[in-house]
Amino acid sequence: MKLRTFPQGVFLSPAKELTAHRSIVEIGSPPKVVLPLWQHTGAPLEPLVKRGDVVKKGQKVADVEAFIAAPLHASISGKVTAIEEWWHPSMGKFRAIVIENDGQEEVERREPLPKDIENLDSLFLRKWIREGGMVGLGGAAFPTHVKVSPPAGKIIDTVILNGAECEPYLTCDHRVMVERPDTVLLGLRILVRACGAKRAYIGIEENKEECLTLFAKLVKYMSIPTEVVPLATKYPQGSEKQIILAILGREVPPGGLPLDVGVVVNNVQTASAIGRMAEEGMPLVERVITVSGECIQTPGNLEVPLGTVLEGIVAFCGGFVKTPQKIIMGGPMTGIAQSSLQVPVIKGTSGFLFFSRPYEKKEYPCIRCGRCVDGCPMFLLPYHLARLAEFQAFLEAEEHRVLDCMECGVCSYVCPAGIPLTQFIKLAKAEIIRRKKGGVTR
Ligand code: SF4
Ligand code: SF4
């Protein structure tokens, strides 16, 4: 099998054996959901409901007029008991709609999509995707309708489905591909039609052999030219720029987007959610996550309603066998540390990991070994950028392309001196962006 990949990066221990073979289990309707009004890249939402309202599962409960935003729908039926600040997995606290379950299972569905996808209007499909609240379920949570709406003068010729799932421990995309290939492929057809592309690729890392075999068989029946591409198991193979380079050999320019090279990349679980919405008429109200790490009694892949509080998920998994010292939402390379079991599942939650050791390295001075440079998939100089960030030389850091850093964490991972390079670089990026917004030049 000829494997494609990108230059640099790092080979990690996949650590997927805890859950890769575990089928998706639905955890059912929780007694309460908490739906933060900000769970996508873009503008925060405004509630369309108020305290005391009774809502149905699938009913739109928040939206905003901004283009880069995706509406939010109730994931259970029940009563809105509060709109208040609540724990948020990436923002500390944020305003959220709290719904108490009334046990009525009332649902509000939309009309299923007609089967002749290739005859549907692209603009109609983009609106349909937006109204379904679809965002990238790989973690970035970028609104999908924006991705499939090329600006004037740009043409998208190719859609890539990202089935790499290169972060260690996470296996939710793997299980979606094995168990729901039909909805993945239906979603892919919709995405292709929505953006006007002519062909599609599905990139899957070679450690998911059953997915490669399955999709290689199924794509023969696709109505659009579709190729399955085996990818090397290397991190960060699933990042947009790296998967485009690996599959098409096209390089996204610095500061550019995939659409600058005629490509849209979507996660396989996003495609599956779109395919399901086409069949069942239910907007994005649940997702599959991986729960793993040595502290959890029963690791697995769970389908959970959005807004389910982590405490309930831990209880569903049988609780802890050891007290976790570190809880991460997402994968260990790019995930976000959590301090409370009260955080809810949001659209971008790919998993929760529970570790008994905090994985903190002792820090030493840089030994100029160059490993961070050799590993950086964006060909940056991480040791230098971190130094510039430390001394607050933000203009120089920008000149050295700090904003091209995709925060993959490779440099910190490979550094034998234990220097938290990515953290320094992230701080510099945040400060540069803050200054740009505030009109500060230096
Ligand atoms: S975190 Fe940024 S600087 Fe470090 S390896 Fe990744 S892209 Fe390069
Ligand atoms: S990997 Fe660490 S020790 Fe080596 S050059 Fe980079 S910062 Fe210095």
Which of 401, 421, 423, when mutated, tests ligand 1's pocket best, judged by the most ligand atoms within 8 Å of its CB? 421
- Whole-angstrom distance, CA of residue 230 vs CA of residue 219: 14
Handedness of CA 268, 273, 274, 279 (dihedral sign): positive
- Whole-angstrom distance, CA of residue 298 vs CA of residue 291: 8
**pLDDT of res. 59:** 98
Question: Which CATH number does the domain 117-280 belong to among 3.40.50.300, 3.40.50.11540, 3.40.50.2300, 3.40.50.150?
Answer: 3.40.50.11540
- Nearest ligand to the C-alpha of residue 403? 1
Calculate how far, in angstroms, residue 412's C-alpha sits from the geometric centre of ligand 1: 8
Calculate how far, in angstroms, residue 305's C-alpha sits from the geometric centre of ligand 1: 33
Calculate how far, in angstroms, residue 371's C-alpha sits from the geometric centre of ligand 1: 12
Q: Using one digit for the tens of pLDDT, what is the confidence trace for 345-402?
A: 999 999 999 999 876 678 999 999 999 999 999 999 999 999 999 999 999 999 999 9
Q: Which two tokens stand for residue 90?
A: 């990436």
Instruction: Yes or no: say if 223 and 118 are a contact pair by the CB < 8 Å rule.
Output: yes
Handedness of CA 265, 270, 276, 277 (dihedral sign): negative
Q: Which two tokens stand for residue 94?
A: 């944020």
Look at strands 351-355 and 54-55 and give their pairing.
unpaired
Q: H-helix or E-strand containing 289? A: strand 286-292
**pLDDT of res. 441:** 47
φ, ψ (nearest 5 deg) of residue 280: -110, -15
- Whole-angstrom distance, CA of residue 378 vs CA of residue 47: 39
Which of 374, 419, 422, when mutated, tests ligand 2's pocket best, judged by the most ligand atoms within 8 Å of its CB? 419
Side chain identity, residue 112:
P
- The alpha carbon of residue 169 and the mean position of all alpha carbons in its chain are separated, in whole angstroms, by 15
DSSP E strands, 199-349:
199-205, 226-231, 263-267, 286-292, 300-305, 326-329, 336-338
- Whole-angstrom distance, CA of residue 86 vs CA of residue 93: 5
Q: Whose CA is nearest to atom 8 of ligand 1?
A: 376
Residue 371 Cα: closest atom of ligand 2:
1
The pTM for the full model equals 0.94
Q: Whose CA is nearest to atom 5 of ligand 1?
A: 376
φ, ψ (nearest 5 deg) of residue 288: -100, 135
**pLDDT of res. 302:** 98
Q: Which two tokens stand for residue 357?
A: 């050791």
- 338: closest CA among 167, 30, 92? 92
Q: Which two tokens stand for residue 347?
A: 């659209």
**pLDDT of res. 439:** 55
Tell me how many degrees the CA angle 141-14-331 measures, rounded to the nearest 5.
30
Q: Which two tokens stand for residue 104?
A: 């009525």
Cβ–ligand 2 contact at 383 (below 6 Å): yes
Tell whether omega for the bond before 236 is within 30 degrees of 0, i.e. cis: yes
Calculate how far, in angstroms, residue 4's C-alpha sits from the geometric centre of ligand 1: 21
Neighbours of 176 (CB within 10 A): 28
Q: Whose CA is nearest to atom 8 of ligand 2?
A: 366
Q: Whose CA is nearest to atom 2 of ligand 1?
A: 405
Give the residues of the chain that fall short of pLDDT 70.
359-360, 438-442
Q: Where are the domains of the chain?
A: 117-280, 371-438
Q: How many residues does the chain have?
A: 442
Residue 369 Cα: closest atom of ligand 2:
4
Residue 392 CA neighbour count, 13 Å, CB half: 3
Burial of 53 (0-12, 13-18, 19+ CB in 10 A): middle
**pLDDT of res. 442:** 45
Calculate how far, in angstroms, residue 131's C-alpha sits from the geometric centre of ligand 1: 35
Ligand 1: lining residues by beta carbon, under 6 Å: 375-378, 380, 382, 405-411, 421-422, 425
Calculate how far, in angstroms, residue 417's C-alpha sits from the geometric centre of ligand 2: 6
